[in-house]
Amino acid sequence: MDRNSLRDYEKTRKVHDWFRYFAPVFITFSVTLGLITRMILLFVPPTVIGFTAVEWLKIFLLGLVNDVAFSILALAPAMLIQATLNDAKYKKPLSIVIGTILLAFAIYSFLSSNIFTEYGSVVPTIARSLSVLLLCGFCLRLFIPDIRKGWCKAGLLFTMGLYIFLMIF
């Protein structure tokens, strides 16, 4: 089974790309959830129900366009993850560049006068944790190639689960 897929049909040996499977499901789920929410909100007591047929059509068509546009914009981080799933980033010159950038980000996040301290509160802690997590994760996958497949699979499942969780709640 390919490490970039979630399914492997043993009989057909056809492997499905996770993003091509997930994106339509996510857009359909988003549009359905938007439609249900729109119908519920239309019948809440403060809402005027005396709409004409053209107004009903506008409400639902513009809502559909809005839901599809939101879904496509919300899939941007998943598109970015999909673009970085290949193993090219672990080859010699590119891995050094990526590792250096992640190390610089980690060092910068621990400096006393960085942009994250301007926001105060918990933001610097989140930035430090995220930078160290990204650096450690990349270094582990770079130096221990056997864990790349499992790491990728877990990352994909976490990303899809996070999308569904954020959509519901």
pLDDT, tens digit, for every residue of 114-155?
A: 999 988 889 999 999 999 999 999 999 999 999 988 888 888
In a domain, 82, yes or no: no
- Tell me the C-alpha distance between 38 and 53, whole Å: 16
Quote the DSSP letter at residue 89: G
Structure tokens at 108: 């910068």
116 and 142 together in one domain = yes
In a domain, 133, yes or no: yes
pLDDT of residue 167: 76
Band of residue 47 on the pLDDT scale cut at 50, 70, 90: low
94 and 137 together in one domain = yes
65 and 12 together in one domain = yes
Band of residue 3 on the pLDDT scale cut at 50, 70, 90: low
- Tell me the C-alpha distance between 166 and 126, whole Å: 19
Band of residue 169 on the pLDDT scale cut at 50, 70, 90: confident
Quote the DSSP letter at residue 15: E
CB 75 within 8 A of CB 23: yes
CB 35 within 8 A of CB 64: yes
CB 49 within 8 A of CB 42: yes
In a domain, 163, yes or no: no
Burial per residue of 90-110, b for 16 or more beta-carbon CB atoms within 10 angstroms, e otherwise: eeeeebeebeeebeeebeebe
Burial per residue of 35-67, b for 16 or more beta-carbon CB atoms within 10 angstroms, e otherwise: eeebeeeeeeeeeeeeeeeeeeeeeeeebeeeb
CB 167 within 8 A of CB 29: yes
Q: Give the domain range for residue 37.
A: 5-77
Across 64-68, 76-80, 111-115, 162-166, the highest mean pLDDT is recorded for: 64-68
Estimate to the nearest angstrom the gap between the alpha carbon of 68 and the chain centroid: 16
Strand partners, 5: 17
Write down the pTM of the prediction.
Answer: 0.57
- Domain end, chosen from 77, 112, 140, is at 77
In a domain, 167, yes or no: no
11 and 69 together in one domain = yes
In a domain, 103, yes or no: yes
Residue whose token pair is 């989140």: 126
In a domain, 166, yes or no: no
67 and 23 together in one domain = yes
